Structure 1
């Protein structure tokens, strides 16, 4: 039985062409910050990568900060823009990825006052309700651009517009959005934005934080002047080149990818309903498909044993996820679904299926057959208890 990988929101395999673009930089000597001839090639490659990222995401090249991934980029924004040396006030949402939520929790333990806005049953946060919590002296507001579990897209631009009138910077975690939907940094109007290469067929171990001109996050690391001291340390040229190459390929293929993904998403959802019945499959998120990521399917199977379902999916060769891979070691129900008020019979049996650039219609059709079988087996095992 050929395994089917439907967990691209956790990590997507590296594009072979991206790997080839990186290869020369793994083999070449030279630190891009050295002052000799061997540094010229790496330095030029690094700056070209920075310019590519800025062009595709519509940012200023001077505001492109390469990091080790989305977690570091989010931590740098939240901790670096909050002015943590003196406690203050933050506004956030209850649907943030742990990379943001746990950084906010840390600030709260250090004395910050944190307002957490509510989320609707369909997974959307009201940006006006968040903006209403802003006040003079609010240091930062955070709102994820596309929720990593449910795939629900948030109206970050609306929040940034209102926050901007009060001079409050907004950070958005766009790790699940970049490479899946068009993202325009300047149009969003946020102060900072995080992304990660391995979500869009780039290498693991590199991400980026975009910052608006005039925004200077306090560094988390110390020991060098690289990247204007905002993220010191020897820069990984090959990884930066890989991120830029993957992002550039996404940019070339964005229309075809998003169109095909949306077709596959709807196809899988219909196949599950056809195979199990409408009452047995509950889709998470708004009815409007444009308000959800085109390559993410999040559905609940009421009354199905979650442990049995996960085991059956694995036995049948379908890779999926019950939530964020960054919280996979936890036995607690997803805090995102809890915040949405998802009832108990769906809380632990909701599954995320996510596609990548290489996912085919044949794979989705076969996956649907296997998922239906896995749900039936898991439901049968529950009935025997």
Structure 2
């Protein structure tokens, strides 16, 4: 029977056993509606408030600034559309980057159709923006700057503190898609002058279909949904108490881990793969970088002469889960917009690259087995 090894943690992560335990407990025992005034409701509210406090502490925010959502996509859409709905009288210019997640890029396309000017910042071959270009584009009619913390395909970390300092004195709000950075790097909303920030629980070994939007006190962007009084009237709907409690546990477990040590572990795992490829004289190049301002949980490789679809199929049959890029686009075999932005639309990398991504539960043994299988596959598919 084939052993299955999971190396696609940038797409989603396995749920922590402690998270599963608390979710099961809450589902069985604390079924009350957190908005109800009786004892059942108060008990559920206590679980929600405890989790909210934990999440707020993780980014140096106030509990009241945390709004629970269904995940990163809803948080990003709320931040973007909510900002333009309340600030169109200030201006109609928005700044983002060419390598954002589809849940940012697709709202931007919609806003362009509605007459907004959207500037897409270029990135270099390491996946980083130019602060000089950002400075040039920041004009008085700019109402929003939306830039991700960590790119989900190549791991590049954006200079959030420097961006925050540039945006703070302007008319624009600063929104950060922190879905891929949450749990992998330290983000401080005060230090980085962040006004809006999106996260997703399933990227940090928590439950799917849950996240939060941080909204700095006084920002008050327009909400997408209308309904009841939940989440300060910002996000109506009965709270998913078990999942929220589980999210709190996931963040609490993640907060116990030193981020630098975690990154060092991921860097070592990257090196195992690269060393095996080098020893076997496999022709490859790294997409992006593995030194400098990057998160090492992602390793994106151009396997020269190996078609992405063939690589994914062969590795899957061998028991290894990796991807060709973002989980939101890979299923349709859409060429990576990230790699196109970095290397050009005609680059052979676009059709010959795979993404390997690690998580807290990835072991060295997993990666050794994978690297050996990767070498054999490359040799077979290139007849070398």
- Asked whether the equivalents of residues 150 and 157 of structure 2 are also in contact (C-alpha less than 8 Å), the reply is yes
Task: Report 1:153-172 matches (<5 A).
Answer: 153-172=157-176
Task: Report 1:135-174 matches (<5 A).
Answer: 135-174=139-178
For the residue of structure 2 that corresponds to 1:299, the secondary structure is: strand
Deviation for aligned residue 1:25: 1.6
Deviation for aligned residue 1:50: 0.4
Alignment-derived partner of residue 15 in structure 1: 16
What is the rounded CA distance, in whole Å, between the counterparts of 2:79 and 2:87 in structure 1?
Answer: 15
| Offset from partner CA, 1:232-279 (integer Å, 9 cap, x none) | 1111111111111111101102344333222212222222232234xx
Deviation for aligned residue 1:84: 6.7
Q: Does 1:331 align with 2:307?
A: no
- Asked whether the equivalents of residues 276 and 372 of structure 1 are also in contact (C-alpha less than 8 Å), the reply is no
Task: Report 1:122-201 matches (<5 A).
Answer: 122-201=126-205
- Asked whether the equivalents of residues 316 and 374 of structure 1 are also in contact (C-alpha less than 8 Å), the reply is no
- In the alignment, structure 1 segments of 5+ residues that lack a partner are none
- In the alignment, structure 2 segments of 5+ residues that lack a partner are none
What is the rounded CA distance, in whole Å, between the counterparts of 2:302 and 2:350 in structure 1?
Answer: 8
What is the rounded CA distance, in whole Å, between the counterparts of 2:62 and 2:49 in structure 1?
Answer: 12
What is the rounded CA distance, in whole Å, between the counterparts of 1:273 and 1:193 in structure 2?
Answer: 40
- Asked whether the equivalents of residues 172 and 192 of structure 1 are also in contact (C-alpha less than 8 Å), the reply is yes
Alignment-derived partner of residue 237 in structure 1: 241
Alignment-derived partner of residue 268 in structure 2: 263
Q: CA, structure 1 residues 311+377, in 2 after alignment: closer, same or farther (shift >3 Å)?
A: farther
What is the rounded CA distance, in whole Å, between the counterparts of 1:265 and 1:306 in structure 2?
Answer: 19
- Asked whether the equivalents of residues 145 and 177 of structure 1 are also in contact (C-alpha less than 8 Å), the reply is yes
| Offset from partner CA, 1:274-326 (integer Å, 9 cap, x none) | 2234xx110122352x4111211111112222222122111111110001111
- Asked whether the equivalents of residues 318 and 371 of structure 1 are also in contact (C-alpha less than 8 Å), the reply is no
Residue of 74, 77, 80 corresponding to 2:79? 77
| Offset from partner CA, 1:135-176 (integer Å, 9 cap, x none) | 112110111110001111111221121111113111111101
For the residue of structure 1 that corresponds to 2:190, the secondary structure is: helix
What is the rounded CA distance, in whole Å, between the counterparts of 2:25 and 2:86 in structure 1?
Answer: 41
Q: Does 1:348 align with 2:360?
A: no
For the residue of structure 1 that corresponds to 2:257, the secondary structure is: helix
What is the rounded CA distance, in whole Å, between the counterparts of 1:85 and 1:77 in structure 2?
Answer: 12
What is the rounded CA distance, in whole Å, between the counterparts of 1:131 and 1:82 in structure 2?
Answer: 21
What is the rounded CA distance, in whole Å, between the counterparts of 2:15 and 2:372 in structure 1?
Answer: 27
Q: Does 1:294 align with 2:299?
A: no
- Asked whether the equivalents of residues 69 and 208 of structure 1 are also in contact (C-alpha less than 8 Å), the reply is yes
What is the rounded CA distance, in whole Å, between the counterparts of 2:306 and 2:268 in structure 1?
Answer: 27
For the residue of structure 2 that corresponds to 1:82, the secondary structure is: helix
TM-score, structure 2 as length reference: 0.94
Alignment-derived partner of residue 45 in structure 2: 43
| Offset from partner CA, 1:71-123 (integer Å, 9 cap, x none) | 11111111111227847111110010001111111111111111111111221
Alignment-derived partner of residue 370 in structure 2: 367
- Asked whether the equivalents of residues 308 and 354 of structure 2 are also in contact (C-alpha less than 8 Å), the reply is no
Residue of 206, 220, 225 corresponding to 1:221? 225
Q: Does 1:116 align with 2:120?
A: yes
What is the rounded CA distance, in whole Å, between the counterparts of 2:304 and 2:212 in structure 1?
Answer: 39
Q: CA, structure 1 residues 178+154, in 2 after alignment: closer, same or farther (shift >3 Å)?
A: same
What is the rounded CA distance, in whole Å, between the counterparts of 2:188 and 2:179 in structure 1?
Answer: 14
- Asked whether the equivalents of residues 127 and 156 of structure 1 are also in contact (C-alpha less than 8 Å), the reply is no
What is the rounded CA distance, in whole Å, between the counterparts of 2:140 and 2:87 in structure 1?
Answer: 18
Deviation for aligned residue 1:34: 1.0
Task: Report 1:294-333 matches (<5 A).
Answer: 294-333=296-335
Alignment-derived partner of residue 277 in structure 2: 272
For the residue of structure 1 that corresponds to 2:354, the secondary structure is: strand
TM-score, structure 1 as length reference: 0.94
Alignment-derived partner of residue 358 in structure 1: 361
What is the rounded CA distance, in whole Å, between the counterparts of 1:162 and 1:85 in structure 2?
Answer: 19
What is the rounded CA distance, in whole Å, between the counterparts of 1:348 and 1:30 in structure 2?
Answer: 51
What is the rounded CA distance, in whole Å, between the counterparts of 1:379 and 1:247 in structure 2?
Answer: 43
Alignment-derived partner of residue 109 in structure 2: 105
